[in-house]
């Protein structure tokens, strides 16, 4: 069981860490751009992302299923029932969440930072760097939240991954599978691992945040 | 607390007592009236193939009506899992009756006392389906030979992987074909889905893979499975026998057993897709099939 469990844990890390990292890589510049641009568009987009944070995962799963199925428009890729399909689904799921949190974190940066930067005649690149540094704790928390959401997600992992043993089984689908088989001990153990993985990352981010603030 | 607070509590208690007495009165006042109908809830565990074919959707409402006509108010609540899980639920005492399809496994649960009685109610056949073009060259052989060729060609095969009756049958066919059960860890062509019959077929369609399925679910899903076709059709060694069993005897459970062998037979036989029956009720079994079923008839009957 332990070798299989290791595989399940690795799959889970893959389908949660990659979407979180992609969100951070794509979302941070987007959030910075929207924040410094300001105005109505930024406000409207922020409202949209806030709304998308609550998108029902089965709906996202269904739409992607129809897209990726053999008879669907992207069926030629043949990625339905693979971990890659789950990664795509989770990325779409957590990107709005990351953006929403990141923009809130940037809102929290002291507005005088911008004035000071302009006063010293710093370039745009330098200004953005200061923003990232000032909001680093919030951005890390946003990435951790994105990771946690993807880690604990069942609907997309089940619909797009298919819970195939040794291949696309992740912690959440394994918990569901063992529960349905009546193997409650195994389900509880997997649940404990899931909880530990979620708590460990957010604890690490929080600790880093404290250290960063001094 | 203030005086008003005490007053509110006293009034509330008085109202509660008054309501309680009022609610008791009709029952104590009218004991001579005909006894109210007993509302019985019957918990049932069954297999995904029975649900995915739509059989439960017609069988259960019809049984409830049939029971009502006989003065019994019975409500059936079912959960459709694999046969293995259904029997585990029975062993835990979570359900009153089961409808399953793995005679060898049923025999064990009958012997250990989980199942009190058993009636074969219907049958159909397992078939092997596979991708159009049959890359493993499995067509026109027996099921075991088809499995051997699939393993040899390392052609993708989707297994239920959920201890269902179909999964149990599939594993016994693998033992016959290649002398062992495929290991999804090593045999990368072997996909263990951990899913119900309908979803397993959809997965096989996506992966252009082979699968073992019951004929009923295949017929029900066929128009969504454009990549698949029948490779090994129904054969005597692929017979799939469904039986009804009582776990906790009660009048309602006994009534359901009676229904299964009378009116239910008609309902089961009338369920068709494009004119093809999904199940053959035992009352309509032809003599040849009866010979194949005979070894699977054992245990005390639930009726009579």
How close is the nearest chain B Cα to the Cα of A193, in Å? 21
Contacts of B207 in chain A (CB under 8 A): 81
How close is the nearest chain A Cα to the Cα of B191, in Å? 6
- Nearest chain A residue to B189 by CA: give it: A167
Which of B88, B193, B227 has its CB closest to that of A182? B88
Contacts of B185 in chain A (CB under 8 A): 4, 166
Q: What is the DSSP string of B133-164?
A: T-TT--TTS-HHHHHHHHHHHT--EEE--S--
The token duo for A73 is 């428009």
CA A1 to chain centre: 28
Instruction: Residue B178: name the closest of B144, B213, B128 by CA.
Output: B144
Q: What mean pLDDT is predicted for residues B91-104?
A: 94
Cβ neighbours of residue B122 under 8 Å, at least 6 residues apart? B241, B242, B265, B268, B279, B280, B281, B282
The C-alpha atoms of residue B275 and residue B256 are separated, in whole angstroms, by: 27
The 10s digit of each residue's pLDDT in B182-204 is: 999 999 999 999 888 999 999 99
- Nearest chain A residue to B81 by CA: give it: A180
Among B162, B200, B206, the strongest candidate for a mutation testing the A interface, having the largest count of A CBs within 10 A, is B206
**Which stretches within chain B are classed as H helix?**
3-29, 48-52, 55-69, 83-91, 103-111, 143-153, 165-178, 197-207, 215-221, 251-261, 263-270, 287-293
Pairing type for strands B97-100 and B239-246 reads antiparallel
Partner residues linked to B240 by β-bridges: B124
Q: What mean pLDDT is predicted for residues B259-285?
A: 95
A152 in reach of chain B (CB within 8 A): no
- Nearest chain B residue to A69 by CA: give it: B206
Across chain A, mean pLDDT equals: 91
| Helix, coil or strand: residue B74 | strand
First-to-last alpha carbon distance for chain B, in angstroms, is 68
Cβ–Cβ gap B205/A180 under 8 Å: no
Same fold, B39-123+238-296 and B125-236: yes
The CATH number of domain B125-236 is 3.40.225.10: no
Instruction: Residue B284: name the closest of B274, B270, B294 by CA.
Output: B270
Please name the fold of domain B39-123+238-296.
Answer: D-Maltodextrin-Binding Protein; domain 2 (3.40.190)
Cβ–Cβ gap A69/B206 under 8 Å: yes
Cβ–Cβ gap A181/B85 under 8 Å: yes
| Helix, coil or strand: residue A192 | helix
Residues across chain A: 214
- Is pLDDT above 80 for B33? no
Which of B89, B192, B205 has its CB closest to that of A164? B192
CA B182 to chain centre: 26
Contacts of B184 in chain A (CB under 8 A): 164-167
Contacts of A173 in chain B (CB under 8 A): 194
Cβ–Cβ gap A165/B192 under 8 Å: yes
Domains of chain A plus CATH, in order, are: 1-211 (1.10.3720.10)
The 10s digit of each residue's pLDDT in A142-157 is: 999 999 999 999 999 9
Q: What mean pLDDT is predicted for residues A16-32?
A: 96
| Domain residue extents for chain B | 39-123+238-296, 125-236
Which of B184, B192, B206 has its CB closest to that of A70? B206
Instruction: Residue B120: name the closest of B286, B287, B299, B304 by CA.
Output: B299
How close is the nearest chain A Cα to the Cα of B6, in Å? 46
The 10s digit of each residue's pLDDT in B102-126 is: 999 999 999 999 999 999 999 999 9
Question: A-B interface: how many C-beta pairs under 8 angstroms?
Answer: 49
- Nearest chain A residue to B91 by CA: give it: A182
CB atoms within 10 A of CB B186: 8
Whole-number percent of chain B with pLDDT over 70: 88
The 10s digit of each residue's pLDDT in A38-71 is: 889 889 998 999 999 989 999 999 999 999 988 8
What ipTM is given for this predicted complex?
A: 0.74
The 10s digit of each residue's pLDDT in B131-143 is: 999 999 999 999 9
Which of A81, A166, A177 has its CB closest to that of B184? A166
Q: What mean pLDDT is predicted for residues A120-140?
A: 89
How close is the nearest chain A Cα to the Cα of B121, in Å? 25
């Amino acid at each position: 069981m332990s070798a299989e469990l290791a595989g399940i844990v690795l799959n889970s890390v893959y389908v949660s860490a990659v979407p979180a990292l992609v969100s951070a890589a794509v979302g941070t510049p987007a959030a910075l751009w929207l924040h410094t641009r300001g105005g109505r568009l930024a406000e409207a987009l922020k409202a949209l992302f806030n709304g998308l944070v609550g998108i029902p995962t089965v709906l996202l799963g269904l739409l992607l299923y129809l897209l990726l199925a053999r008879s669907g428009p992207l069926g030629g890729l043949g990625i339905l029932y693979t971990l890659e399909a789950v990664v795509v689904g989770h990325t779409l799921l957590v990107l709005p969440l990351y953006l929403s949190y990141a923009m809130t974190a940037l809102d929290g940066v002291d507005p005088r930072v911008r004035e000071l930067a302009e006063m010293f005649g710093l370039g745009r690149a330098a200004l953005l760097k200061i923003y990232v540094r000032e909001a680093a704790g919030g951005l890390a928390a946003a990435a951790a939240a994105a990771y946690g959401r993807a880690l604990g997600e069942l609907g997309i992992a089940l619909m797009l991954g298919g819970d195939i043993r040794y291949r696309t089984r992740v912690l959440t689908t394994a918990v569901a599978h063992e529960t349905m088989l009546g193997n409650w001990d195994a389900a509880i153990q997997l649940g404990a691992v899931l909880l530990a993985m979620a708590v460990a990352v957010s604890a690490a981010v929080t600790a880093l945040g404290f250290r960063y603030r001094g | 607390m203030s005086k008003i607070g005490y007053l509110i509590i006293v009034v509330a208690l008085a109202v509660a007592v008054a309501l309680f007495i009022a609610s008791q009165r009709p029952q104590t006042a009218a004991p001579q009236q005909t006894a109210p109908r007993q509302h019985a809830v019957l918990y049932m565990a069954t297999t995904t193939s029975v649900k995915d074919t739509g059989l439960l959707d017609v069988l259960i409402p019809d049984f409830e009506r049939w029971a009502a006509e006989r003065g019994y108010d019975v409500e059936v609540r079912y959960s459709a899992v694999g046969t293995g899980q259904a029997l585990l639920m029975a062993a835990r005492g979570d359900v009153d009756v089961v409808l399953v399809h793995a005679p060898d496994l049923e025999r064990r649960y009958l012997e250990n006392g989980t199942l009190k009685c058993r009636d074969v109610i219907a049958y159909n056949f397992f078939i092997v389906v596979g991708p159009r073009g049959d890359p493993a060259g499995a067509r026109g052989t027996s099921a075991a030979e088809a499995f051997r060729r699939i393993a040899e060609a390392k052609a993708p095969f989707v297994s239920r992987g959920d201890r269902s009756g179909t999964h149990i049958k599939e594993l016994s066919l693998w033992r016959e074909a290649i002398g062992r059960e495929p290991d999804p860890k090593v045999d990368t062509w072997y996909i263990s889905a951990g899913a119900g019959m309908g979803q397993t077929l959809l997965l096989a369609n996506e992966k252009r893979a082979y699968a073992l399925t019951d004929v009923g679910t295949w017929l029900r899903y066929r128009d969504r499975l454009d990549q698949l076709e029948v490779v090994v059709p129904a054969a005597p060694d692929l017979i799939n026998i469904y039986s009804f069993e009582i776990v906790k005897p009660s009048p309602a459970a006994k009534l359901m057993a009676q229904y299964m062998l009378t009116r239910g037979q008609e309902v089961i036989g009338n369920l068709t897709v494009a004119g093809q029956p999904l199940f053959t009720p035992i009352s309509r079994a032809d003599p040849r099939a009866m010979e194949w079923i005979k070894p699977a008839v054992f245990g005390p009957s639930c009726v009579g």
